[in-house]
Amino acid sequence: MSVNPLILNFNTYKKSVPFNEIKTEHYIPAFEKAISLARDEINTIINNPAVPNFDNTVVALERSGKLLNRLQAILFNINAAETSKEIQKIAQEVSPKITDFVNDIMLNEELFSKIKKVFAEIENLGLNEEQQKLLKDSYKRFVRRGANLSRERKDRFRTVSRELSKLTLQFGENVLADTNVYFLHITEAEDLSGLPEYVMEAAAREAESRNMEGWVFTLKFPSFAPFLKYADNRSLRETIFKAFHSRGSKKNENNNENIIKRIVELRIELAKLLGYSSYAHYILEDRMAETPENVTGFINELLEASIPVARAELEELQNFVADYDSGLQLQRWDWDYYSEKLKKAKFDFNDEMVKPYFSLNNVKEGIFDLVFKLYGIKFTRRNDVPVYHPDVTVYQAVDEDGKYLGLVYLDFFPREGKQGGAWMTSYLDQYIDENDENIRPHISLVFNFTKPTPSKPSLLTFYEVTTFLHEFGHGLHGLLTNCSYQSLSGTSVYRDFVELPSQIMENWALEHDWLNQVAIHYDSRDKMPEELLKKIIDSKNYHNGYAFVRQLGFALNDMAWHLLEKPTGESIHSFEQKAMAPANLLPEIKGCLVSPAFSHIFSGGYAAGYYGYKWAEVLDADAFSVFLENGIFDKKTASSFRKNILEKGGTEHPMELYLKFRGQKPSVEPLLKRSGLK
């Protein structure tokens, strides 16, 4: 084989990933090399005859495995954003090897003995706050990964965690495969009634790409979502709705039902091995919420506030539907369609009226400008950084004094090899290296926005504008971090705190002074009329109760699976139906399930943590009230948020960080008020 670029020092701008040089055959030998090097580094720590101390043990462990960390970031990010059968096979082969290596470290008695000796002296070492946090986290990580178990239990822990690593990867691959395999082929123009021109144009292009006549709709969000919202043909809405909500539960090779049961069974066993009554108890010990009781109490508090509002919204919509068809009983595939029509009737406003003012480029530049106003950061396009797909663009971020902050990859459009949804990740995290150089991060923001067509640029719905802001908030968290240690930097914080920097950014989407700068017609270049701006803001809480309850239903489902103390004999359908019953407002649909495609909790990092989105909404509403008091572009407030939240990563407990910014603990009242629930 030729020289393997994955194991060399990257000879690229800012040592960015040389995607143009990497081939699939490079991955396996590179991982073998990286794991071998990392083992040598660990053995050096173990065999060091000197008395264990913070530097020769804790810091040495923190700095080990840099090549392996780099390779994992590349492979698993590509597996999410631009995968193939070959990449998926490599990920399946590599994943258990990584798990075995991590277990070899965490279950190594000699290494843990050294960590334990340093930890026992924590009060006498003269460590600063960040060093203490690293030491505490290192010790805790060993304990939570089985370091205190007997030899027999350690062996079982290895087996369980290894199988889990493969199953969670397989779960995500199955969801993607089921998403890609389905398409709705329409050949009669009358079946397109109600659909906007841009939706039909995109569907025609999709059909053309498949060498088919007519129009093709897929389960990718930019295709599926507008079809449900605008298609007059109710039968076809039902068809595509059921296709989307049966992903992972169809009777095919992508079925996730047995995988779910096995994942849950293994998570229960892992928790029991470590002395916890459930996986939720294990996970929440390391979260702001701390206990399942606190989480369920929190969910129930928000349900109590939102259910009456949601029921009133449902009743109003059912009455509105009666004007169209007095005998029609609302079903789940009707909600978006009639909700959009009622919105137009109530506010003389719908998404199609505002989309021409939200071209992707306008919104991107508007977000760049917002970040400049708040933090003084400038973004410049770089054409000399290799990318993994032609759609990806890269920007360099510099501070107001011209100091380099990092690179930001932007990947906007759906494709077959990309998972659905939107997310932030990184190819390089920030840290201070052994030469005291501040290694700056390479952040990636991935979306699934509507592609441009020959006649129009990519135009965003208002929801997609808020999605862009949300992920950019995550990006700022990763970009602005300024920590000494990689394991504490950026978004390496409690899962129910990580959404604060992202969700607070969404608030600007409903502020007139920002909207007025961003909303510019893609063709005429006219600003959005004041009347239309006002309608966006006035309708901000439209059907918010329903949205609240729907998300809380997902959180209930998540907690139900992870509070189990023994495997359930129930079917997936029966189990989740009972779990989500308090949040169900519309009739159940046979064959439609949440769990088999619930990637957040079965292949992502949100197991026993989906409530965190709402938890962070409490934080962000409370935090944004400071901006509302001082001015939405107030640099002093932004500087405090940057200094106390964005730069700090996981160097302190999140509540301590929040108190430094806010001066008081968060209250649920600003969220209830902002959301129109109180």
User: Looking at the annotation, which residues are catalytic?
Assistant: 471
Q: How far is CA 259 from the centre of its chain?
A: 22
Q: Report the relative pairing of strands 404-411 and 442-446 from DSSP bridges.
A: parallel
Cβ–Cβ < 8 Å for 433, 439: yes
Contacts of 394 (CB under 8 A, 6+ apart): 16, 381, 382, 383, 385, 387, 407, 408, 409, 410
The rounded distance, in Å, linking the Cα atoms of 622 and 514 is 20
Sheet-wide strand order for 404-411: 378-382, 393-398, 404-411, 442-446, 423-428
Helix (H) or strand (E) holding 406, with range, is strand 404-411
Instruction: Classify burial at 462, counting beta carbons within 10 Å of its beta carbon; exposed 0-12, middle 13-18, buried 19 or more.
Output: buried
How many other CB atoms are found less than 10 A from the CB of residue 38?
21
Helix 109-120 to helix 27-47 angle (10° resolution) is: 50
Contacts of 659 (CB under 8 A, 6+ apart): 665
The rounded distance, in Å, linking the Cα atoms of 139 and 455 is 58
Cα end-to-end span (Å), the chain:
65
Amino acid at 347: F
Phi and psi, residue 86, nearest 5°: -65, -45
The rounded distance, in Å, linking the Cα atoms of 244 and 530 is 38
The rounded distance, in Å, linking the Cα atoms of 611 and 494 is 13
List beta partners, residue 378.
Answer: 398
Structure tokens at 365: 């530049």
CA angle 208, 214, 216 (to 5 degrees): 70
3-state helix, strand and coil shares in percent for the chain, rounded to the nearest 5: 60, 5, 35
Cβ–Cβ < 8 Å for 238, 246: no
Contacts of 480 (CB under 8 A, 6+ apart): 375, 377, 405, 642, 646, 647
Structure tokens at 647: 């730069």
DSSP for residue 668:
S
Classified as helix, coil or strand, 380 is strand
In 433-499, alpha helices (H): 462-479
List beta partners, residue 567.
Answer: none
Cβ–Cβ < 8 Å for 138, 58: yes
The rounded distance, in Å, linking the Cα atoms of 453 and 577 is 41
Cβ–Cβ < 8 Å for 637, 625: no
The rounded distance, in Å, linking the Cα atoms of 365 and 371 is 10
Q: Report the relative pairing of strands 378-382 and 215-217 from DSSP bridges.
A: unpaired
Amino acid at 428: L
